Chains A and B, each alone.
Chain A
Amino acid sequence: MIKPLIYAPSKPIRKRKNVFLQRLGTNALFLLPALFFFTCFVIYPLLSGVYYSMTNWNGIDLTPQFVGLQNFLSLWHDAEFLSSMRVTLTFAFFVTLIQNSLALLLALALNRFMRFSAAFRVLFLIPTLISILAMGYIWSYIYSPLFGFVDAFLIHVGLSQWAQDWLGDPHFALGTIIFSGSWQWCGFNMIIYMAALQLVPTEFYEAASMDGAYRWRKFRDITFPLIAPSFTINLVLILIGGLRVFDIIVAMTGGGPAGMTRSVFLEIYRQAFLFSRFGYSSAMVLVVSLIILAISVTILHYLRKREVAY
């Protein structure tokens, strides 16, 4: 028998497309550790939180009493919760506005001076390496009355009438924290904008400059529509972070003066660990989380529709 010149396999090769589906056992082995930790320490607590929010759990009892929606009803009349809600929404709104604008302006400016961008980028990212709590303490020293950096500087240049207790004054405390938070994290959002700006095809600008388009028109009609996805992401990231603000307020004011800067998560912590009202606290967490979820989904949905494809 003459051997065939070309060895043909005795069986046609099975299409190997589904090779990853065939080994269910191995795949389960690969997936199980991650599924275990994620389910036990994220999903299960989240779901049990829904149950706890309808009980009067004090953090110690193993069998808390079921109280139905009572916790949620009393939230409506809880002046401290409502005030903390107001503080949190104000904080989130202004941080979003300031931090996002700063990040976009810095990214646009750096995009113009590409040759220095590496050094500036490193500098603007350094604040994000320091813990928010530690950075809060640094700021609280800088704003401390008389000997803090800001007041000492104002006195030094002869503007001593402007010097004041920035964090102790109800008019200035929240604004001061808002600036400090934006200062620390705008570099992070700037990186997202810079990545998006690099992807804008230069041909668009070339065509536009031949038309003699003005800078503002170039930005409004070309740059911004093309980097809109990063605008959406930054907006949502800052907003979510702002609604969850905790560390920086603990460090800078602890919620004072007179609760003027007490955010929702400070209130949640206070109710649970100071007053042992874990059930009530869980109800607050649930309400705030649903608000955060609703706001982010709405923004994502609304802004995604307006984005252009290119």
Chain B
Amino acid sequence: MTISSFQNRPPTVQKPFPLPPGMNASRHAPKNRSSRKSLGIAFDGVTLAFLLLWAVIVLIPLGVLVSVALKSPAELTTNPLGLPQQFLWSNFAQAWENGNMGTATINSVLVTGFTLLALVLFGSMAAYPLARATSNKWYRGIYLYFVAGLIVPSQMGMIPLYGLMRNLGLINTLQGIIFLDIGGALPLVIFLYAGFIQSVPRELEEAAALDGAGPLRIFWNIVFPLLGPVTATVIITSGLNIWNDFFGPLLFLQDQDKMTLPLAIYSFVGAYTNNWGLIFAAIIVSALPMLILFIFLQPYYVKGIAGGALKG
């Protein structure tokens, strides 16, 4: 089996590229053809073995997660390695009831939903003038002000934030954590939106302006509908971060009925130490919404990771 990644590539336009420095045409003349070919097959075999090995290493903890969630505490000691003898679905019901999971799920949905709504609205609105008026030094300055937030460690303001949040009466409120998450995620969101808007041609907007459309109408009716792909990227990347955030809720949400899912799991583990079946059932319930979101938005997640990192 010879699989060469190069053969699967679409044909590219033949353009002479200069060889990078260090490549010397005459130094390695081709040796014995057939021995090199068998070496290539062996190399492919090792590569595939490495991929499969890592896939197994990735699968084991995920398999353990599902299998333990379906086991009784007694079975965990008698049969720690194998699949569950009988599926104990009651773990899920019990975790949901005792673990405060219902309230926590609603809270997580509220926090993530409202934060994402604000991020998409405020982020795209702010990015629009910043992406279009790049020649003006004031707008460039504001853009840099936002993007500097990408470099500054996000936990830097957490301790003093505690004083601010208390003075504003935002501790133990969902809106407090929503405000916090909006501020923290805006740099990346504006960065993604501004980069995308710059690639959208401005002829449409100029035509609409000639027809007498106001800037608000131009933005909502023409620009915003074009931002679908980057909005999907924002939703999946920021959504994951907010949904799974533990540090912020740990500091600012202490009441039982205000907890988000990671915090609920944290306190659940404290209360049910070593009842791993219950704990893992709770973890699966908490991860399920993100898994579903991932199934639908997977290409945008990949784009968000790659695009956000490479442009930076």
Question: Is A38 a contact of B306 with CB atoms below 8 Å?
Answer: no
The verdict on B200 contacting chain A, using a C-beta distance below 8 Å, is: no
Contact with A along B177-200 (1 / 0, CB 8 A): 001101110110010000000000
* Bound Cα distance A26, B126 (Å): 11
Which residues of B are found within 8 Å of A34, using beta-carbon distances?
122-123, 125-126, 146, 186, 190
- Label chain B's interface by main secondary structure: helix
Interface band, chain A: 35 or more
Residue in contact with A20 in the complex, picked from B5, B43, B129, CB distance below 8 Å: B129
Query: Can you list, as one digit per residue, whether each of B81-110 has a CB less than 8 Å from chain A (1) or not (0)?
Result: 100000000000000000000000000000
CA distance A251 to B64 in the complex (A): 17
A42-B23 contact given A19-B209, A37-B179, CB 8 Å threshold: no
- In the complex, the chain A residue whose C-beta lies closest to that of B149 is A42
Q: Which of A9-29 contact B (CB under 8 A)?
A: 16-17, 19-21, 23, 26-27
The yes or no answer to B162 lying at the interface (CB within 8 A) is yes
How long is the Cα–Cα vector from A214 to B28 in the complex, in angstroms?
Answer: 8
With CB as the reference atom, state the residue of chain A lying closest to B302.
A191
Number of A-B contacts (CB under 8 A): 319
Contact surface of A with B, Cβ cutoff 8 Å: 16-17, 19-21, 23, 26-27, 30-31, 33-35, 37-38, 40-46, 48-49, 51-52, 57, 59, 102, 105-106, 109-116, 120-135, 137-139, 141-142, 147-149, 152-153, 156, 183, 187-188, 191-192, 194-196, 201-208, 211-215, 217, 221-222, 225-226, 229-230, 233-234, 237, 240, 243-244, 246-247, 250-251, 265, 268-269, 272-273, 278, 281-282, 285-286, 288-289, 292-293, 296-297, 308, 310
Chain B contacts to A: CB under 8 angstroms = 3-6, 8-9, 12, 14-17, 19-20, 22-31, 43-44, 47-48, 50-51, 54-55, 57-62, 64-65, 68, 76-77, 80-81, 118, 121-123, 125-126, 128-130, 132-133, 135-136, 139, 142, 145-146, 149, 151-164, 179-180, 182-184, 186-187, 190, 206, 209, 214-216, 219, 240, 243-244, 246-247, 250-251, 261-262, 265-266, 269, 276, 279-280, 283, 286-287, 290-291, 294, 298, 301-302, 305-307, 309-310, 312
